[in-house]
Amino acid sequence: MCSHGTHTALHDSGPGLATTATPYPVRAPGPVGKKITSLYKKRLVNFFTPGQWEKVNLLAALNRGVYTGSPHVKLSVWDAPGTSRPTFSEATSASNSHRETQVGESFGPSWTTHWFRCALTLPEALCKKDAHVELHWDCSNEATVWTADGNPLQGLTGRGERVEWVVPASFKDGKEHVIYLEMACNGMFGNGPGRPIFKNNAGGDSIQPPDQNKYFQLSKAELVAVNYEARMLHVDFGIIHDAATELPEDSWEQHEALNVASRIIDTFRVGDDSSILACRKIAAEYLGDQINSAAVYESQLFHWLKKLYPYGWERVKAKVKSGQFHPIGGSWVEHDTNLPCGESLVRQFLYGQRFFEAEFGIRSTTSWLPDTFGFSCQIPQICRLAGMTRFMTQKPCFNSVNEFPHTTFNWVALDGSQVICHMPPCKTYTAEGNYLDITRSISNHKSLDQDNTALMAFGKGDGGGGPTWQHMERLRRLRGLADTMGVIPRVHAGATVDQFFDRLETKASSLVTWYGELYFELHRGVYTTQARTKLENRTSEILLHDIELLATIASIQDKDYKYPKKELDELWQGLMLCQFHDCLPGTAIEMCYDDSDKVYANVKQTGNSLLQRIFQSLGIESLKEVGTQNFDNVIALNTLPWPRKELIATSKTEAVIASGQGHALAVQSIKTSGDGVGLVAVKETTKGVFQLENDDLTVKIEHGCITSIYDRKARRETVCGKANQFVVFDDKPVYWQAWDVEVYHLETREELVNSTTKIHEDKGYRASVVVETRISEASSMKTVISLTAALDGQPSFVECSADVDWHETMKFLKVEFPVQVRNTEASYETQYGIIKRPTHYNTSWDMAKFEVCCHKFADLSEHNYGVSILNDSKYGFTTVGNVMRLSLLRSPKAPDGNADMGQHRIRWAIMPHQGSLGAQIVQTAFNFNNPMRLVAAPSGKSSILSQTPITLTGDDNLVLDWVKRGEDDEDVSQDNLPKRKGKNVIVRIYDALGGMGRGKIKAAYAVEKVFKTNILEDDLEEISVHDGAFEVTLHPFEVATYRLKVAYTRQKMSTGQDHDIRSELRNLKVLQGPFIEWDAAAFPPTPQEAFGTWLNEAVKAGVKEPHAMTLSTVDGQGLPDARVLILKNVDHRGWHFAIKADSPKGHQLASRGHAALTFYWPDQGRQVRIRGKAIQLPAEECERDFTERPVSSKVAALGSKQSQKLRNEAQLERSMDAAKETFDKDPDFVLTSWKVFAVDPSAVEFWQGASSRLHKRMQYTRTAAGGAWERNLLWP
């Protein structure tokens, strides 16, 4: 027997037992019909939604009273000028003129800010203690509530969402209270025309270019007395309504939900609060009676909050401490993962985790990137190296071709590192927390055979913004529904993300695995959109690489050079901000790029300024002009870790060859180098047909296209068809213009016809032709195809440089290279390695990758031969069959209507190579992006840069990628995390080709210790180091970081020759001054008085430890000895110090009796030298000095057998423990061997240094103890 229902009781009395059931009536009281389910379901929505019934349904009971306008809500406004963003103090300045305003007025235009002074006076009805009063404010845009004294309280969203601010109890006194509201004239998703939706809409939508003249009408500014029970009933009924309409009609739970909802409607009476309470009791039958009662993941947001809104920042920190606010993610912003270089990804986590640790005392264990457009195959490895074992994203669930097959799985990087990845099956990161969201979290779950739990990112805002009270109330009821009725998944709203993943980790071995990238089958256009931003990103990354490398060298070599960590932090944080997943991918509005252009300009300007300071320290200078000259004092600055040999143009007609290893390469004119330079020639063989040729390649150009690249050494043709052929496609995706390019665009391919080709250069060392191409009536380009002279041991490639004037609409420009190479896979450089992708469309998964991401090169190789395409700023690529295609420019019109319009310069190169993909391609791609610069070394060559301070030798698949200073170095660190003493150099290397690599890193410095670390620079293991060198072994595609602790003095340079420390010492600066003026006549009669004056001046000047002095004594063999002690006192008896009588200095004083003291205050250029007899002071003074010492100092004095041999540290610890026990038992214990001495001086000299070396010296002498002092000046 079974029963369902919430108000039916079944009592089994058993055989022969009496029953308490009501007797069954003999006659039917009347007809009862079956409910018509569809009709009752239609009825429900009328009970709690607007419409013709809203004056008699539940909406009529939500508020007990609404008060708007004067005297209860008085408004005045100050309109900030232009699009400025004034601070609170600026906005509320008495000089600003506020004008009266009211509901119904409109404010704008777009992006302007308006500050409202809101004077609130609660009527008597709202001043009751139990009244729940809110200010409802809605202008369909974003706003912030401020206290009258300038503290930000809360954000408001607008358009009916998050429009409430709870009025505090202190306002319930009938008096006027003032708050301020800062209104920003933009919606949550910008200012697109029409409705703020993501949907093709005739009136416009959110992704269209902003309406720059948009105005927002203030529709609400009112005090509301909320009927709290009615509000809660509204939430109750919403959940029951969803159950009644969404559950299957053949389930008893659906029928029960419909019955409960119907009873609530029938019970409700407008104006009768008791009926509302009765309705809530009915609702509890279905939802349970226990229903009454944020994660943020970007360090950049916290950084802004701390800087701009310190009051809000302190509130957040308090909530974090109490467990109500959960910082998560550990990266600087919600960054793109496809386009930034490997080091940029490292810095996202390094800066993010350090900020979390410095401000919250924690590190995140979960990488939280819900809205990023695909994920690099090396993210799991970088996460693990940043201390993260978990990863959360949402994006692959939006694939347009194949449905991603897993919800929870182990994601594995190229090197085998793994993280547990979870993709919330709710399929949104802005869940409303309603019935459908909860049920989808299981119905869409694709890993139920391994785990049946799921996360749900709920809240307002894109990417899982903050929850509203509606979210929380719905979730409570859904939990109650699950507990009471079952039928839906159980909600756990109080658990943290960490707790969710903690449980997953226990079953990690049973989870499926996904190897390699999480390719996103949507938003493929982001590899190309906003070309200038992508160029600036790459050049900024390279600039920061060079600055950190050279600044590290300078800071180790030059004690006067300070590593510019503060400036570097600013530059990195700006660059990382621009790597936000809508900025760098090219999907932001135009204003964003106005801002990012300023950030990049600052990186360039500040970066170049830093380089000039570094050059000064390194002894080199920038060359303003490079022409025909003697190159004895010119070097080529190489910031890459391998030998290079390249041609560098010095003028329009001349070049030099730079070659060698290290950072400073020698240069010679091509004519005098004798370095195997083969000339290059150009000629027009027939009309419109040109030939470029050097010792390696013969290039044929017909009608502007390359029709042949003959490899003279391999004796084979490289291309088949027209290479460097420009093609244009229609580019009209289904919806997301800047984001998407769809596969059907390939069907609109149109070849561009070149108009003219002519010889451009014929310089002997470089030859080129220039091709002009008309793209359309509005757009054109000029392309230079060049070949340089072949250099022995260096690859030759055909370089192309295009100047494009681009003014298209929804067109996509690409350049094609059909090559004589076949393979089913092509290789693409990614962060810290390569990734292989299919060149065919065998499956839908293969075809979905019709446009992919690559970094500096793409390669198609067969056995023993291949072709690489290098680039300087492009990321979109595809290889189909034997056709390699580089994406150049797009022209979407939303959300930035001017995206990519204007002038562009783009460089790429076609590089044939013998053998398969190898180190030569990797290095050449680096070289192509890092051109050497010529600098002047006035002394002939830079002594510091002529050697490579950090070298990597061994297998050529290993790349020494980055060199920097340690984040925690005491002279570098900018945060409040623990510091490391001394100087540390961080070295990051990786395997670029996918094989085990062994090598040796050697430093030109004396290296005290080496540790392998993670990317946060936590030590993982100590590495054996000898003579500055240590062995490294890397697994395929491994990224390895090492910390080199530099010794205080350098021993040998990397050549093995003894370093000339004499020369280095000669270069150290001393006595720079200015110093205090000398006045010989001002010296007092006694040296004690003079010393007191100088000591006070040292203290006031901030001299560190001015009371530290060197005590010099002589041992039994007449050998001098010295050590530093602390001055205890100065009086007529002399200069006092304390020692243990049984120490070596105690024995020396006892046997010899004389001593010398020396004080040195370098900041003031002063010394004081004292000679005389050391006299032991009375026992009571010795005892008093000992008793005044801190307990720890007394323990150390008693426990230490000073200067005797120590077997091990354990022996020291035992002795200290015994000494501590002595003082624990007898706090007044006095060490009898503790003695205080005074040096009774016979001579005291005061020495004032001078930069001219004409030092000033005043000597006090006396012939007998207690005699008169005589003063004399001494020669310098």
For 1044-1084, the DSSP string reads: EEE-SS--B-TTSSBP-HHHHHHHS-------PPP-GGG--
Helices 590-618 and 531-557: crossing angle, nearest 10°?
20
- Check residues 1267 and 1148 and name the one with the higher pLDDT: 1148
Q: What's the rounded mean pLDDT across residues 352-356?
A: 95
Average model confidence (pLDDT) across the chain = 91
Domain co-membership, 317 together with 282: no
Beta bridge partners of 964: 986
pLDDT digits (tens, 9 = 90+) for 294-332: 555 566 777 878 888 888 888 888 888 888 888 888 899
pLDDT digits (tens, 9 = 90+) for 752-777: 999 999 999 999 899 999 999 999 99
Domain co-membership, 276 together with 307: no
DSSP 3-state assignment of 99? strand
Domain co-membership, 915 together with 806: yes
pLDDT digits (tens, 9 = 90+) for 1019-1047: 999 999 999 999 999 999 999 999 999 98
Residue 550 lies in a domain: no
User: Residue 176 corresponds to which tokens in the numbers above?
Assistant: 């006027």
Residue 629 lies in a domain: no
pLDDT digits (tens, 9 = 90+) for 140-189: 999 999 999 999 998 898 888 889 999 999 999 999 999 999 999 988 77
The pLDDT value given to residue 1063: 59
> Which among 929, 950, 977 is the end of a domain?
929
Q: What's the rounded mean pLDDT across residues 738-762?
A: 96
Distance (Å) of CA 1181 to CA 7, 1153, 1155: 92, 19, 20
pLDDT at 1072 over 80: no
Domain co-membership, 217 together with 299: no
Residue 813 lies in a domain: yes
pLDDT at 1202 over 60: yes
User: Residue 797 corresponds to which tokens in the numbers above?
Assistant: 């490639």
Residue 818 and residue 850 in contact, taking contact as beta carbons nearer than 8 Å: no
Provide the CATH number for the domain around residue 445. 3.20.110.10
pLDDT at 483 over 50: yes
pLDDT at 985 over 60: yes
Domain co-membership, 447 together with 507: yes
pLDDT at 1104 over 70: yes
pLDDT at 885 over 90: yes
The pLDDT value given to residue 941: 43
> In which element (H, E) is residue 1002 found?
strand 997-1003
Instruction: Please name the amino acid found at residue 997.
Output: G
Tell me the pLDDT band of 495, cut-offs 50, 70 and 90. Answer: confident
> Which among 522, 557, 591 is the end of a domain?
522
Residues 6+ apart with CB under 8 A from 1260: 1086, 1087, 1090, 1241, 1243, 1244, 1245, 1246, 1269, 1270, 1271
The pLDDT value given to residue 12: 46
Min mean pLDDT across 43-52, 356-365, 404-413, 1052-1061 is at 1052-1061
> In which element (H, E) is residue 381 found?
helix 379-385
Min mean pLDDT across 749-753, 904-908, 1089-1093, 1191-1195 is at 1191-1195
pLDDT digits (tens, 9 = 90+) for 239-272: 999 999 999 988 999 999 999 999 999 999 999 9
Instruction: Please name the amino acid found at residue 503.
Output: R
The pLDDT value given to residue 277: 95
Residue 851 lies in a domain: yes
Indicate the pTM of the whole model.
Answer: 0.81
Provide the CATH number for the domain around residue 176. 2.60.120.260
- Check residues 1152 and 984 and name the one with the higher pLDDT: 984
- What's the burial of 686, exposed, middle or buried (CB within 10 Å: 0-12/13-18/19+)? exposed
The pLDDT value given to residue 1075: 84
The pLDDT value given to residue 4: 45
DSSP 3-state assignment of 108? coil
User: Would you give the distance in Å from CA 552 to the centre of its chain?
Assistant: 21
The pLDDT value given to residue 839: 98
Residue 556 lies in a domain: no
pLDDT at 1064 over 70: no
pLDDT at 292 over 60: no
- Residues above pLDDT 90, as percent of the chain: 73
pLDDT at 983 over 50: yes
Distance (Å) of CA 84 to CA 79, 91, 546, 551, 1126: 10, 11, 36, 37, 58
Tell me the pLDDT band of 629, cut-offs 50, 70 and 90. Answer: low
Quote the CA–CA distance of 710 and 948 in Å, as a whole number: 37
Q: What's the rounded mean pLDDT across residues 360-371?
A: 93
Q: What's the rounded mean pLDDT across residues 588-614?
A: 96
Helices 228-246 and 469-485: crossing angle, nearest 10°?
50
Provide the CATH number for the domain around residue 800. 2.70.98.30
Active-site residue numbers? 371
pLDDT digits (tens, 9 = 90+) for 682-691: 999 999 999 9
pLDDT digits (tens, 9 = 90+) for 35-92: 888 899 999 999 999 999 999 999 999 999 999 999 999 999 999 999 999 999 999 9
Rounded to the nearest 10°, the torsion over CA 107, 112, 113, 118 is 0
Domain co-membership, 156 together with 259: no
Residue 398 and residue 426 in contact, taking contact as beta carbons nearer than 8 Å: no
Tell me the pLDDT band of 364, cut-offs 50, 70 and 90. Answer: very high
pLDDT at 1 over 90: no
Domain co-membership, 497 together with 464: yes
Residue 408 and residue 511 in contact, taking contact as beta carbons nearer than 8 Å: yes
Domain co-membership, 213 together with 116: yes
The pLDDT value given to residue 1267: 82
The values of phi and psi at residue 902, to 5°, are 115, -155
The pLDDT value given to residue 772: 97
Residue 633 and residue 938 in contact, taking contact as beta carbons nearer than 8 Å: yes
Q: Which residue's entry shows tokens 């030590």? A: 1019
Alpha carbons within 13 angstroms on the beta-carbon side of residue 684 total 12
User: Residue 117 corresponds to which tokens in the numbers above?
Assistant: 């002074």
Tell me the pLDDT band of 1151, cut-offs 50, 70 and 90. Answer: confident
Domain co-membership, 278 together with 303: no
pLDDT at 1051 over 50: no
Domain co-membership, 318 together with 415: yes
User: Would you give the distance in Å from CA 487 to the centre of its chain?
Assistant: 43
**649-658, 809-818, 1069-1078 — which one is most confidently predicted on average?**
809-818
Cα–Cα nearest to 680, from 772, 784, 802, 796 = 796
Beta bridge partners of 335: 580
Range of the domain at 682: 677-929
Q: What's the rounded mean pLDDT across residues 990-1016?
A: 96
> Which among 867, 895, 929 is the end of a domain?
929
DSSP 3-state assignment of 483? helix
Residue 1030 lies in a domain: no
The pLDDT value given to residue 942: 47
Residue 539 lies in a domain: no
pLDDT at 115 over 70: yes
Residue 61 and residue 230 in contact, taking contact as beta carbons nearer than 8 Å: yes
Residue 773 and residue 726 in contact, taking contact as beta carbons nearer than 8 Å: yes
pLDDT at 1062 over 70: no
Domain co-membership, 274 together with 419: no
Residue 120 and residue 171 in contact, taking contact as beta carbons nearer than 8 Å: yes
Residue 671 lies in a domain: no
Residue 765 and residue 788 in contact, taking contact as beta carbons nearer than 8 Å: yes
pLDDT digits (tens, 9 = 90+) for 674-707: 555 668 999 999 999 999 999 999 999 999 999 9
- Parallel, antiparallel, or unpaired: how do β-strands 1270-1274 and 1256-1261 relate? antiparallel
Q: Which residue's entry shows tokens 């349904």? A: 57
Quote the CA–CA distance of 899 and 531 in Å, as a whole number: 9
Quote the CA–CA distance of 1135 and 298 in Å, as a whole number: 59
- Parallel, antiparallel, or unpaired: how do β-strands 73-79 and 99-101 relate? antiparallel
The long-range contacts involving 1171-1174, CB below 8 angstroms and separated by at least 24 positions, are 1171/1239, 1171/1241, 1171/1242, 1171/1243, 1171/1244, 1172/1134, 1172/1239, 1172/1240, 1172/1241, 1172/1242, 1172/1243, 1173/1239, 1173/1240, 1173/1242, 1173/1265, 1174/1149, 1174/1237, 1174/1238, 1174/1239, 1174/1240
Residue 878 and residue 852 in contact, taking contact as beta carbons nearer than 8 Å: yes
Quote the CA–CA distance of 1028 and 1010 in Å, as a whole number: 9
- Residues above pLDDT 70, as percent of the chain: 93
Q: How many domains does the chain have?
A: 5
Q: What's the rounded mean pLDDT across residues 616-633?
A: 75
User: Residue 845 corresponds to which tokens in the numbers above?
Assistant: 């998964």
**Residue 941 carries which DSSP code?**
S
The pLDDT value given to residue 1054: 39
- Check residues 6 and 1144 and name the one with the higher pLDDT: 1144
Residues 6+ apart with CB under 8 A from 455: 392, 422, 424, 497, 500
The pLDDT value given to residue 794: 94
Cis peptide before 109 (omega within 30 of 0): yes
Domain co-membership, 212 together with 158: yes
Question: CA-based angle 367:371:373, to the nearest 5?
Answer: 100
